[in-house]
Amino acid sequence: MNTVVTTTRTDLAELAAAVQAWLSDAEDDPSLTVEDLERSESSGMSSVTVLFTAVGDGARSEQVLRLAPEPSALPVFESYDLHRQAAVTGALADAGHVPVPRVRRVEESPAPLGRPFLVMDRAEGAAPADNPPYVFGGPLVDATPAQRDRVQRASVALLTGVHATPPPDALRADGPAGSGLARLVDDTADYYEWTVADGGVRVPILEDGLRRLRDERPAQASSDVLTWGDARIGNILYRDFAPTAALDWEGAALAPPEFDVAWFVFFHRMYQDMAESFGKPGLPAFLRAADVLAQYRADSGRTLHDMPYFLMLAAVRMGIIFARIKARSVHFGDTPAPADPDEYVLHHRMLRAILDDRYEWEI
């Protein structure tokens, strides 16, 4: 059977038949059918997301299937732990601070579809776009200041809810309490070395950043909490400018809360810098660092420490991800290899300014 998920009609028809056969067996209901199966436009390179409707006993259920990436496709990340994602989503659902889709099943066997996958309920709403980034146009640009303020306040409050959620046992096994920052820095360096060994190139600006992260790691960090690992509004679905679901928990870990807050701030600032470099106004008054930090402190009651360090960590870590994505694009012939390896990093100018202590975060 062809297990390559593409948008061609034949492949999707084959996939729909395979999903229907698996679902009928899993639910012990041969009358179940699968309709309207399509690949999500938001599918990234860390996984493949497929939308479908399960029909049985006169009821229709809209669901989402996320397949682990093919190892031969130069996946962005080395591993893809479906059970870990399901455990984190379950913990968030149980705590009730953060809206998340219900995970229905995790299938470890590659037999049904060619690789492991999980199935969850489909949530309503839409996420701000990443390609092109939402700062270039769309609902947030067209929104009123009051509507954008509603998004900002609700999103920061959601992040506070993540950090207030008791972590599942699947994360507690990562290491002893208080070791989250050291583990995060070590994992970032290990991830970089894996990308180099698995078809990538050495990128001097990233190695400069990794040296600074090792040399300047704070001796004392905030207590570890459940962190998202990819905290940004592009991973939140909204309806009428209010969050309906938080998605993508592959990077969840026990770490200081500053990392999520820094990632949240960094990601928007990176997009804003990108817009300005193209002569676009972007959204300069939206998700400003000082505003986000002030609201997070007020909502959580936490004191945030060493934010310049965590912003640097976010910029370096995202740089490794971008370098991996670029190496993947070069490998498959989509783009030529840059003459300067630093240009594997999409935000290399921003990162250089950060590493040279020239970047103004206004915090």
Helices 307-331 and 180-197 sit at what angle, rounded to 10 degrees?
A: 20
- Which candidate in 25, 28, 121, 230 is catalytic? 230
Q: How far apart are CA 183 and CA 238, in angstroms?
A: 33
Q: Is the same domain home to 201 and 91? A: no
Residues 6+ apart with CB under 8 A from 173: none
Q: What is the pLDDT of residue 309?
A: 98
Please count the structural domains in the chain: 2
Q: What is the pLDDT of residue 3?
A: 36
Is the pTM here over 0.75, yes or no? yes
- Nearest CA among 173, 141, 180 for reference residue 284: 141
Q: Is the same domain home to 109 and 180? A: no
- Lookup: tokens for 87: 């455990």
Q: What is the pLDDT of residue 42?
A: 62
- DSSP per residue, 102-116: PEEEEE--STTTSS-
Q: What is the pLDDT of residue 70?
A: 81
Q: How far apart are CA 65 and CA 196, in angstroms?
A: 30
Q: How far apart are CA 213 and CA 89, in angstroms?
A: 30
Tell me if 167 sits within 8 A of 91, measured CB to CB. Answer: yes
Q: What is the pLDDT of residue 8?
A: 38
Domain-terminating residue out of 72, 99, 121: 121
> Computed over its alpha carbons, how large is the radius of gyration of the chain?
21
Torsion 17-22-25-27 (CA) sign = negative
Q: Is the same domain home to 235 and 302? A: yes
Residue 61 inside a domain? The answer is yes
Tell me if 259 sits within 8 A of 218, measured CB to CB. Answer: no
**299 catalytic per annotation:** no
Cβ-in-10-Å burial (0-12, 13-18, 19+) of 358 comes to exposed
Q: What is the pLDDT of residue 314?
A: 98
- Residue 290 domain boundaries: 134-355
- Lookup: tokens for 350: 């921003």
Domain-terminating residue out of 121, 156, 180: 121
Beta strands in 126-248 (DSSP E): 225-227, 236-239, 242-246
Q: Is the same domain home to 94 and 145? A: no
The CATH code of the domain that includes 71 is: 3.30.200.20
Adjacent-strand bridge partners of 105: 119
- Per-10-residue mean pLDDT, the chain, length 363: 36 91 94 93 69 92 92 86 96 98 95 94 96 97 98 98 96 83 96 96 98 95 96 98 97 97 98 97 98 98 97 98 96 95 98 98 91
The CATH code of the domain that includes 158 is: 3.90.1200.10
Q: Is the same domain home to 258 and 321? A: yes
Q: How far apart are CA 132 and CA 53, in angstroms?
A: 28
Residues 6+ apart with CB under 8 A from 342: 203, 204, 205, 348, 352
Tell me if 196 sits within 8 A of 202, measured CB to CB. Answer: yes
Q: Is the same domain home to 74 and 45? A: yes
Q: What is the pLDDT of residue 44?
A: 52
